[in-house]
């Protein structure tokens, strides 16, 4: 079965493409609390969800 070059089954890539094309965040097609939705949001936001947020550098 051939797939279109525009079809991307990866939710992270789908989320990133949605943002690039100006779609709203609520355009996510996946159900709440699903792994796919979390991945889509990761792609849309451009932030890995498994990484801790950057902490400020404390010099002292």
* pLDDT by position in tens, the chain (length 60): 444 445 668 999 999 999 999 999 999 999 999 999 999 999 999 988 776 555 565 665
* pLDDT reported for residue 41: 96
| Distance, C-alpha 49 to centroid of its chain | 9
The pLDDT of residue 4 is: 41
The pLDDT value given to residue 25: 96
- The Cα diameter of the chain in Å comes to 61
Placement of tokens 């709203």 in the chain: 24
Please enumerate in sequence order all residues whose Cβ is within 8 A of that of 14, keeping only pairs 6 or more positions apart, or say none: 8, 29, 40, 43
pLDDT at 59: 64
Structure tokens at 41: 């949001």
Distance CA 48, CA 30 (A): 18
Q: What pLDDT is stored for residue 60 in this prediction? A: 58
């Amino acid at each position: 079965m051939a797939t279109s070059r525009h079809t991307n089954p990866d939710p992270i890539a789908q989320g990133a493409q949605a943002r690039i094309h100006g779609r709203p965040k609520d355009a996510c097609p996946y159900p709440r609390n699903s792994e796919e939705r979390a991945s889509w949001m990761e792609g849309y936001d451009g932030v890995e969800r498994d990484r801790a947020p950057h902490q400020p550098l404390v010099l002292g």
